[in-house]
Amino acid sequence: MKGKLYGIGVGPGDPELITLKAINAIKNSDVIAVPHAKNGEKTALKIIQTYLQDQPLLECHFYMKNDLAMRKEHRLKAANDICALLEEGKKVGFITLGDPCVYSTYMYVHKIIEERGFETEIIPGITSFSAVAAKLGVSLCEEDELLHIIPASSNDNIEKILECQGNKIIMKSNKNLQKVLSILKENGFSKKTKIVQRCGMIEEKVFNSIDEFNSDNDTDYFSVIIVKD
């Protein structure tokens, strides 16, 4: 009998924000696949440490820079490594920060493995933006309000920030963080914008307006921006 792949969302960082389903999947996995990329990976492993039962870890190395061919090569390598285990009948739990369905590298591996006919299951996780809204004590959307999730990773998308009418979550701002904040500020959103960095982690920082924002720490991958329209 062939194995099964679990894509396990372990939540945004706070170890208590993991679901029972994720914990059970980790405990039932024969091998835990751990994405190994700049940032993130150690956090995911730290969250699940308590639930590991001496299972071997499979490190999956991902290439996060712009070279698409290199990125695909790394994803394929990770998928091949996992498939070898699935062929042996192993259950593989692939852990990922946040939710596997929201901007996660896991999905590329998932698609390759699913296309090869293996059984897969995704276990959703608390997203970073849910954690940020809870932290701030604000709703993301109420009544008839729209909510737009915008990755600020490209210039095209930065232009779309103002086009989208309604509440906005801006993610993956990274190197574009200052640019995004400038645009929001110029257009009168300073007081309507809140920024949380590394939500739920020890290094957490909360800025309740753009004016409060300190540019010292501006390229943090874990920054989430909420704009209430």
Identify residue 115 by its one-letter amino acid code.
E
Question: Is residue 183 involved in binding a second copy (CB under 8 A)?
Answer: no
For residues 6 and 3, give the distance between their C-alpha atoms in angstroms, rounded to a whole number.
10
Q: Give the x/- contact pattern for a second copy in 162-181, rule: CB under 8 A.
A: --xx----------------
Q: Residue from 37, 57, 70, 146 that binds a second copy (CB under 8 A)?
A: 146
Report the alpha-carbon distance of residue 162 to residue 91 in Å, rounded.
Answer: 45
Q: What's the Cα-to-Cα distance from 192 to each of 14, 28, 34, 183, rounded to whole Å?
A: 26, 44, 37, 13
Residue 140 is classified by DSSP as S
Choosing from 30, 36, 77, 149, the residue that interacts with a second copy (CB under 8 A) is 149
CA 92 to chain centre: 20
Q: Report how many residues bind a second copy under the rule CB under 8 A.
A: 57
Site for a second copy in 49-68 (CB under 8 A): none
Which of 28, 39, 139, 219 touches a second copy (CB under 8 A)?
139
**What does the per-residue mask of binding to a second copy show for 68-107, with x meaning CB under 8 A?**
-------------------------------xxxxxx--x
Choose between 53 and 66: whose C-beta lies nearer to a second copy: 66
C-beta closer to a second copy: residue 6 or 213: 6
Residue 79, classed as helix, strand or coil, is helix
Q: Tell me which residue of 135, 64, 132, 65 sits closest to 98, measured CA to CA.
A: 132
